[in-house]
Copies of this chain bind each other. A is one copy, B any other.
Amino acid sequence: MTEILREIGMIARALDSISNIEFKEQDLTKGQYLYLVRICENPGIIQEKLADMIKVDRTTAARAIQKLETNGLVEKRGDEHNRKIKKLFPTQQGLEVVPVIRRENDHSNRVALSGLSQEEADTVLHLLRKIRGNVEVDWEFVKKGGRREY
């Protein structure tokens, strides 16, 4: 039933596409909403961890964050105990944009789950978490150059 993975791909592309179109009004370019909300939820996170969290290439995250900084939505701060890392924080302006993102995401969520009972929603969340846990192991392995045998 590789059907499951196809459905996931379709849903993800459709939602991402919708979000990108809708966030243009907020002057957010492709994908930026992903990073911004997570930085707000995890202030002080570094970009390496953020990339892992989102499941995107390190360099892609680096540039998206760079752009968020340039646009004044995010701030990078050095750490006194570790001269290498740069902690990420939302700026005032970033904090102001986030509710708009949340509202959009909530709406998409409502649309996506319409017709599902609360129980079904709980079930699907539980199962998706499990699937994500399985998949992220392989993702990290393959990203680091590992070769899957099959």
Report whether A10 and B124 are in contact in the complex, using a CB–CB cutoff of 8 Å. Answer: no
What is the interface of chain A, defined by CB distance below 8 A to chain B?
1-5, 7-18, 21-22, 34, 54-57, 102-109, 111-116, 120-121, 123-125, 127-132, 134-139, 142-143, 148, 150
Q: Closest CB of chain B to A99's CB: distance in Å?
A: 12
- The answer to whether A18 and B138 touch across the interface, beta carbons within 8 angstroms, is yes
Q: Would you give the shortest CB distance from A9 to chain B, in whole angstroms?
A: 5
19 more contacts with CB within 8 A, not counting A12-B12, A17-B56, A113-B134, are A1-B113, A2-B106, A3-B125, A7-B128, A10-B54, A10-B136, A11-B55, A13-B54, A14-B136, A15-B135, A17-B142, A18-B148, A21-B143, A106-B150, A111-B134, A111-B135, A112-B134, A120-B127, A124-B124
**Cβ–Cβ < 8 Å partners of A113 in chain B:** 1, 4, 131, 134
